[in-house]
Amino acid sequence: MNAHCARIIGSIRGEALDHVLIMNEAHPRHVLAAYERHYNEHRPHQARNQLPPDAHKQPAAAHALSTGKVLRTRILGGLINEYKYAA
C-alpha cells in the first residue's frame, strides 16, 4: 500500500502543488479538488488503456483530425490543460 500512496502523492506534488504558492487554508483545498476532478475525469491512466477512472467506454473515434478544431480547457489557471476535439 505504501507504493500506491507514494505514487499518488508524487503525482499530486509534481503536477500541482510544486507549482502553486499556497496562500491560506482554503487554497490547497481548492487546488486539490480541481486536481482530483482532472485526475478522475480527464487524465489518461496507463493501467486503464489510457482511459480516466470515471470513463466507462472508449471515446468515439474522431474523423478528419487535420480539419478538426481542438478546444483547450485550462485547469488551475493554466497549470494543467485538458484538450478535446470540438464537435
pLDDT(58) > 80: no
Which one has a higher pLDDT value, 82 or 50? 82
Residue 33 has pLDDT above 70, yes or no: yes
The vertex-25 CA angle with 23 and 27, nearest 5°, equals 55
| Rounded Cα gap, residues 19 and 28, in angstroms | 12
The whole-number pLDDT of residue 68 equals 74
Average pLDDT of span 51-75: 74
pLDDT at residue 53, as a whole number: 81
Residue 39: its pLDDT value, please?
86
Is the pTM value of this prediction over 0.75? no
Count of domains observed in the chain:
1
Q: What domain range is 61 assigned to?
A: 2-85
